Structure 1
Amino acid sequence: MRLKKRRKPRANGWRVIRRCVVFFTAICIVPVLLVLMVATDRYSRPVPRHSTYVRHQFVEIEKPTVEAYLNRNISIISKRMERRREHMKNMCKLLNLDRPGNDSLHKPNPWEFLIDNKHRLIWCNIFKAASTSWMYNFNILAGYSPKFLKKTKIVPMTLARQKYPRPSLQELRKAFNTYISFLIARHPLERLLSAYRDKIQYALPNTYHKKLGNEIIKKYRYKKNPIPTQKEPTFEEFVEYLIDSVKNKEELDMHWTPIVEFCTPCMFDFQIIAHTETLQEDQMYLIKLAKLENIIQPEWKNPGRGSTENQIQKYYSQLTRSQIFQLYHIYRYDFELFNYSLNGYLEYGTTDKDPSSLLAAISMKDFEQNDLPKVY
């Protein structure tokens, strides 16, 4: 009985090719995934447990109820304010934003402050962050009646500046020594969306922002395939315009200028840092601290078209993740100073067709401290 010779396996060329493909794919993809994981962890860091960043439903509360509510929760709100102040001070120091200088980040900017000497109150007006509500409150404190404010066609800011002229830096610093000071922060990307919807998407005819919208369409719409049918700029087109404006070092509109340049908060010691996410409690606390309970009430006048918060997925799903990362870098200091993250935004972005675009957006975080955010 003859034994059959065992044939030697033939070299399989396809198997070699497959192994090469797997090897080179691993070399190319794994570093990308690692960078993305690290970056995502940084930008989408979990919000500290002690921070209340879930928006409370805003409802009207009667005076006796407000008093009782504050009596029960005054210590909790007070500690929240102290944590926010401490966090901002630490970040200002870490980012070298607390050192005076001549650029827009380090030169104290008193332009948007309102000082109420009668009630010893200082407010930095940040557009699209409950500014309508507090412009109304300051006009009430100035002596205008609710009936007059409801009927007049004069712009609320114009009315307010008749009573609260823009202060000099010396006047502002003096007031900070003894007055109650506050600002209201809002998530940078929610504030940006609110500005887009109010000033660009629903811009009134023959206004500056309507003309700006037409210019955005003319410059950016030709890139689209297919071309959008809506008459106003899409959110993506607006974001492209904003990113290019920062690249070209153009001055940004006051409705979407970063807070860190608008109010230079690291140059002043704000007593109260309110957030729109906890605005009802923060307002009640502020009003009680300033002893204004009998003059103004906690409220949030929102003239916009519905809640911006409920529109986040609809609009940010129009952007790629690299575009959302680029927006982060434009508002990087606002994110850091007020302890916000990209949670609730980045996951809605679409996947970039070119992975290098995402890597380039991620790498933008590596710019020098003490410098303006850059977009490459």
Structure 2
Amino acid sequence: MVKMLLNLLRRQTLTLKRLSLASLGFSIIFLALSYNNLKKTVMTSKKVNYELQQDILQKSVSVKDDAFMERMKQRMDERRGKLKENCKKLGIHHNSMETRDYLVYSDKYKAIFCQIPKTGITNWKYIFASLEGLTFQKVLAGKFRLNHQIMGTEKNRRLHNPDWFKMTVVREPLERIVSAYRSKIEPRKSRIKNFLSKHTGRKDLTFSMFVNFLVEENLNPLVKSNDHWAKYTELCQPCDLDYEVIGHQETMDEDSKYVLRLIGAPENISLKSAYRNKTDDDLVYRYYSTVEPREKVFQLYDMLLEDYTLFGYPRPSVLDRLSKEQ
């Protein structure tokens, strides 16, 4: 009898153990499933949060872009308005067909750039070549001409077609004169240097000689029409052509971004940092302080006053510094 009770007890103990193990197994499975569900929930939450953050970031960038584009539009509207107002006051009118050979085109983006020497045009040639899917090396090598030799009726049609985006870039006029001297006369032989040497009888032209020459030969058509110091109105006819963007080299970092976004250019195309030149007042002063007689600097300013007025440049500080020294 006792033996039977012991056997029964052993069987019950084994049953309880099996039940406990089974219960433990179910608990482990339940915990594993719960962990996986929790993990999925966390991952989903993280994904939702990331997407939410990206959405917020994109909206923030979009808002900033919208604000930037609006601010730049106001800047360009002010420049264009001032230009039109002063063109009318000064009675300036040119035949828009006389833009010489300064226009470059992007057929793909229906964009026209009227290039004025010594305002950073090399970089804009690079940009327009990139817009057309070309390397700038081909442009420099003469294997591709950005202006396509478009002349006559077709040229005039594009210039006056509102569907074509048009832009030009200007620079502080007295600084541009310094830039022309430094790049074309001071360091090396060039056609311009040879041309001036023949007219002045001097092989080495100081900056003072150069300024005197420009002032004294102002009425000489061969002198005043040179691309590197001719007035802006003689190069790109800003009083007769409706430029959507009038860039200033002094604000070219922002102006270039505005242009490229406005025409829908790819994001990988941008202004090279080497060409983001700012006005260097000290450099300009160092050159003009060498000019003798000193009044020639003020006469040069008077010659360029039209460009200052049309494009909203204030009286240059170098004149005040020179006046104090007299």
The verdict on a shared fold, with TM-score over 0.5 as the criterion, is: yes
Residues 350 and 87 from structure 1, CA distance in 2 versus in 1: closer, same or farther, beyond 3 angstroms? closer
Match status 1:174 vs 2:157: yes
The match for 1:344 among 311, 317, 322 is 317
| Mapping 1:127-146, distance limit 5 Å | 127-145=117-135
Counterpart contact for 1:141–1:295, Cα < 8 Å: no
Aligned to 2:298: 325
Which of 73, 80, 83 does residue 75 from structure 2 map onto?
Answer: 80
- The secondary structure found in structure 1 opposite 2:313 is coil
Distance 2:249 2:182 in 1: 18
Confirm or deny: 8 A CA contact 1:194 1:308 kept in the other structure.
no
Q: Match of 1:195?
A: 180
Q: CA deviation at 1:312?
A: 0.8
Q: Following the alignment from structure 1 to structure 2, what is the Cα–Cα distance between the partners of residues 307 and 268?
A: 27
User: Kindly tell me: are residues 86 and 92 of structure 1, through their superposed partners in 2, closer, same or farther at Cα, counting changes over 3 Å?
Assistant: same
- By relative contact order (CA 8 Å, sep 6+), the higher-ranking structure is 1
Change (3 A) 1:329 1:66: farther
Letter in 2 for 1:298: L
Within-5 A mapping of 1:65-144: 70-98=65-93, 105-106=94-95, 108-111=97-100, 112-144=102-134
| Paired letter, 1:181 | K
Residue of structure 2 in register with 1:155 after alignment: 140
Match of 1:255 among 209, 228, 240: 228
Q: Which moved more, 1:290-299 or 1:193-202?
A: 290-299
> Structure 2 CA distance, aligned partners of 1:211 and 1:77?
42
Deviation, 1:233, is: 1.5
Given that residues 260 and 270 in structure 2 are in contact (C-alpha distance below 8 angstroms), is that contact kept between their aligned partners in structure 1?
yes
Cα drift, residue 301 of structure 1? 4.2
Shift in CA distance, 352/253, structure 1 to aligned 2, threshold 3 Å:
farther
1:326, 1:279 → 2: CA distance? 29
In the superposition, relative to structure 1, how do residues 108 and 256 fare at CA in structure 2: closer, same or farther (>3 Å)?
same
Q: Whole-Å Cα distance in 1 between the matches of residues 196 and 220 of structure 2?
A: 18
Q: Tell me if the contact between 1:89 and 1:266 (Cα under 8 Å) persists in the aligned partners.
A: yes
Check conservation: 2:249, 2:276, Cα contact below 8 A: no
Post-superposition shift, 1:213?
5.3
What is the count of residue pairs matched by the alignment? 262
Q: 1:102-125, CA deviations, whole angstroms, 9 ceiling, x for partnerless residues?
A: xxx455423211222211101001
SS in 2 for 1:256: coil
Does 2:261 align with 1:288?
yes
- Identical aligned pairs, as a percentage? 27
What are the superposed Cα offsets for residues 66-118 of structure 1, whole Å, 9 maximum, x if unpaired? 978634422211101000010001111111114xxxxxx45542321122221
Higher Cα radius of gyration: 2
1:172 partner SS? helix
C-alpha separation between the residues in 2 aligned to 1:140 and 1:316?
A: 38
**SS of 2:217's equivalent?**
helix
Unaligned segments of structure 1, at least 5 residues: 1-64, 99-104, 220-230, 354-376
Aligned alpha-carbon RMSD (Å) = 3.0
Per-residue Cα deviation, 1:184-212 (whole angstroms, up to 9, x for no partner): 11011111110110000112x4x313424
- What corresponds to 2:237 in structure 1? 264
Query: Is contact 2:107–2:132 with CA below 8 Å preserved after alignment?
Result: no
- Give the distance between the partners of 1:132 and 1:67, measured in 2 at CA: 31
Partner residue in 2 for 1:239: 211
Whole-Å separation in 1 of the counterparts to 2:315 and 2:232: 17
Shift of 1:340: 1.4
Cα separation, 2, equivalents of 1:214 and 1:250 = 14
Q: Which has the larger helix fraction? A: 2
- Equivalents in 2 of 1:66, 1:137: separation in Å? 24
Q: Distance in 2 between matches of 1:160 and 1:289?
A: 25
TM-score (norm: length of structure 2): 0.71
| Ranges in structure 2 where 5+ consecutive residues have no aligned partner | 1-59
Aligned match for 1:315, one of 287, 303, 324: 287
Q: TM-score, normalised by structure 1?
A: 0.62
Check 1:159–1:267 CA distance in 2 against 1; reply closer, same or farther (3 A cut).
Answer: farther
Give the 3 Å change call, closer, same or farther, for CA 107–68 of structure 1 in structure 2: closer
